Structure 1
């Protein structure tokens, strides 16, 4: 009976993870809102860029806060916070849009709040299902579901329920529905994810009642190994102090790579609606198709990257462990390919599709190459980030460290978004942004190779 109850609770909690991830991607549907916003608010390209940029920035501005909440309270608290943020942001946005009230600045503020809710939901999903033994797979599944969110929501948005009698997409009606649905799902998720925290607390309590702490377990295992005549070496987790992290030259190099990957990719994702409109004869269906291409490519990348890394790369050792061997046999060194291969592949893909866009794309029907390439690179980079972070800087403060690294787009996305806005106005050629992105990506690729060499044997 107890086992069946535990299985039901586990299934309920994992269902909550899936629903949280699938419902939280409303910010990425902005390309679908662009035609309606242009009709009712007549914004400039800079104002449009500011609205979506605010949504993107909201995802990262409080990343460290949500990481600390995960470490100290648990994923259920993030889910509950996300429900309140989604309710306020989307319902207010829907009311203002329905009545043509407010201004682009007010809409940008609401998108920022929705972005804050998005990252709270995102953290609740990926950290509720983390596994120490298969960190790549455990991270990839909720990441993949999160990547599917724009795809699922775009199909919902395309239903007849959200069309006016003239057949036009009714943005206010859809956004209001999305706000209510996200709120209900994340409130239920807070209940389901509380079970994850309760299980962790029970395991800690059982260990306490047995009278052995983690350090005592290590000492006992060391004694047993030495009695058997084996040599013992303890692997010590890296210093978890935040100042030690900031003094690490490799940390800032990794942040720089993240700035380029996420900054350029999110600029494409956020501005796909206006990129489509750069070509004559554009249609609303073309923008919706690009959103789906990006979502599908990103989802496949997130779903496959983690298991692929678990398979071809050395296993991830998290926390202090003991390495034992009996002379003259010594433990085999880690074998496999470094996880830094994946960021290198992501950068190569981005450089290729950006160059192709700048030089060869002549109509909107060819944009699928840009959409799929960007989605693949963006999804794969986020799928591998937690594993690399955990190995290099330790698992104990993973939530905090992951949150700090999540600030990379807070720098990169505004830079490249406003570069795009600048190149798109006053008769300039918008393709200049992609040429600038190619140069930035190639520089990051060189730096990625240097970090690969620096962390040789660790990843």
Structure 2
């Protein structure tokens, strides 16, 4: 009987783990709805007569909705578990996407000027959807890492990769089921679908991601037999928000580790140099991600005001660019971590006297940031000099996704190595506020340059729409590269 009871319990645990995994996958795949904005920006410009600054503001609020409440979302995970974040995401997605679709549906096709009230409602809805994104993403990420603590790197990496594939998955659905060859994407129907599907998926997650409390703190769902480590080594609320490669040394890397005060972090000049680098890299990347749709349209001569352009062709090309960004973002996250470990392994021991530390690395990880900066600068120059057709934008999309994914992948290990593991979650959260300032800076630069060079009332056409923006971005990328050299000199022998 006892043996039979163990078998039944094991089967139940396996069934529960199966549904937990399904929910993790579903949450991650449906979390990236805001990244499909480039697919609908042409329709919003046609149907609602929105200007480029207004389109940029809507997309920007969706992107920025991910950042301000990241600490609150992390606290929710610590106090209640992934299920609570999934429940919150269900409400936010249903409300944000649902009211977005309703506002578009009630707007007549023959309006002559954009409605300020509609613009404000759409912007607020997209901000709610961006907030839902971080709740849903955290729910899948932490459910995966807590369900498989003995494989935490693989579990969290798979969850992040699935999140990276979300725009590809959703854009395929949009192209296959919600796009007409003559009229283009049906935004109302597509966002109604997102409201129902994303809301339902995350609502189910509120039940399937309800891990037992003892497991929420780090034990596997199936692992009830293995003894726990001592309290000192157990996972608590101070565990990093993102997993990173642990150091073998108990000796602290820098004096910042000795205090939990964030003021010590702010007093480190290298912290501000890193903020500048991330502001430029992530800000310029998110500007492209949000506006790739109108960049594509700027290279279609048929989109000149007064001439109906081929909606199906333009939107199909936009969908292709969104997929390329998603695929390159995903593969860069999967490959850049192992690549960094191979070519820039962290030192195994960092004593107080750094001059005598063991240097097992071949190059510094900071040089990867230098490479990313140079990659973006090179692509921006290529864009200015050679890209004149929508097909040519594939290079820009692939480089953007690669730079974006690689930066987010290598950043946690750099942060924890330089400032220690004790508050690496908090430190990582503080540092990732950089795009909160960088993204609007680059996005509004693009929006106002485009609006200034727009001869008609529709989408701006021609390279002048973005030429000045990308020359500025080129200079900023070179500045980022120079700043990374300062970091390399300051952290030489450490990372």
- Which band: TM-score by shorter chain? 0.7 to 0.9
Within the candidate set 138, 147, 154, 2:164 is matched to 147
Displacement of 1:203 after TM fit? Answer: 4.9
Q: 1:397 to 1:375 in 2, by over 3 A?
A: same
Measured against aligned partners, the alpha-carbon deviations of 1:393-433 in whole angstroms (never above 9, x if no partner) come to: 33343433332222111100111111111211233722110
2: CA distance between counterparts of 1:27 and 1:38?
17
Matched, 1:455 2:487: no
2: CA distance between counterparts of 1:132 and 1:305?
22
Matches within 5 A, 1:204-283: 212-214=230-232, 234-236=250-252, 238=257, 239-279=259-299, 280-281=301-302, 283=314
Matches within 5 A, 1:346-357: 346-357=372-383
2: CA distance between counterparts of 1:373 and 1:53?
21
Q: 1:254 to 1:107 in 2, by over 3 A?
A: same
Matched residue of 1:100: which SS? coil
Partner of 2:174 in structure 1? 157
Matched residue of 2:336: which SS? helix
Matched, 1:422 2:438: no
Which one is further off, 13-22 or 56-65?
Answer: 13-22
Please tell me whether the aligned partners of residues 338 and 452 of structure 1 are also in contact (alpha carbons under 8 angstroms): yes
2: CA distance between counterparts of 1:301 and 1:79?
27
Question: Which 5+ residue runs of structure 2 have no aligned equivalent?
Answer: 1-6, 109-116, 235-247, 304-313, 455-463
Matched, 1:108 2:115: no
Matches within 5 A, 1:66-145: 66-100=73-107, 102-130=117-145, 137-145=154-162
Q: 1:268 to 1:234 in 2, by over 3 A?
A: closer
Matched, 1:384 2:410: yes
Please tell me whether the aligned partners of residues 375 and 399 of structure 2 are also in contact (alpha carbons under 8 angstroms): yes
Matches within 5 A, 1:184-195: 184-195=200-211
Partner of 1:343 in structure 2? 369
Partner of 2:113 in structure 1? none
1: CA distance between counterparts of 2:208 and 2:367?
36
Partner of 1:55 in structure 2? 62
Partner of 1:404 in structure 2? 430
Matched residue of 1:314: which SS? coil
Matched, 1:309 2:340: yes
Please tell me whether the aligned partners of residues 350 and 494 of structure 2 are also in contact (alpha carbons under 8 angstroms): no
Question: Which 5+ residue runs of structure 1 have no aligned equivalent?
Answer: 217-231, 324-329
Please tell me whether the aligned partners of residues 149 and 219 of structure 2 are also in contact (alpha carbons under 8 angstroms): no
Partner of 1:221 in structure 2? none
Displacement of 1:16 after TM fit? Answer: 2.6
Measured against aligned partners, the alpha-carbon deviations of 1:64-84 in whole angstroms (never above 9, x if no partner) come to: 222333344433332222111
Measured against aligned partners, the alpha-carbon deviations of 1:153-206 in whole angstroms (never above 9, x if no partner) come to: 0010112x42469553211111011111111211222334332764144759x9
Please tell me whether the aligned partners of residues 351 and 437 of structure 1 are also in contact (alpha carbons under 8 angstroms): yes
1: CA distance between counterparts of 2:124 and 2:476?
30
2: CA distance between counterparts of 1:413 and 1:287?
21
Matched residue of 2:185: which SS? coil
Please tell me whether the aligned partners of residues 67 and 402 of structure 1 are also in contact (alpha carbons under 8 angstroms): no
Please tell me whether the aligned partners of residues 128 and 193 of structure 1 are also in contact (alpha carbons under 8 angstroms): yes
Which one is further off, 279-288 or 146-155?
Answer: 279-288
Matched residue of 1:361: which SS? coil
Matched, 1:442 2:478: yes
Partner of 1:41 in structure 2? 48
Please tell me whether the aligned partners of residues 79 and 121 of structure 1 are also in contact (alpha carbons under 8 angstroms): yes
Measured against aligned partners, the alpha-carbon deviations of 1:188-231 in whole angstroms (never above 9, x if no partner) come to: 22334332764144759x99x98943189xxxxxxxxxxxxxxx
Matched, 1:285 2:316: yes
2: CA distance between counterparts of 1:62 and 1:309?
30
Displacement of 1:59 after TM fit? Answer: 1.2
Which one is further off, 124-133 or 337-346?
Answer: 124-133
Displacement of 1:306 after TM fit? Answer: 1.9
Please tell me whether the aligned partners of residues 268 and 374 of structure 1 are also in contact (alpha carbons under 8 angstroms): yes
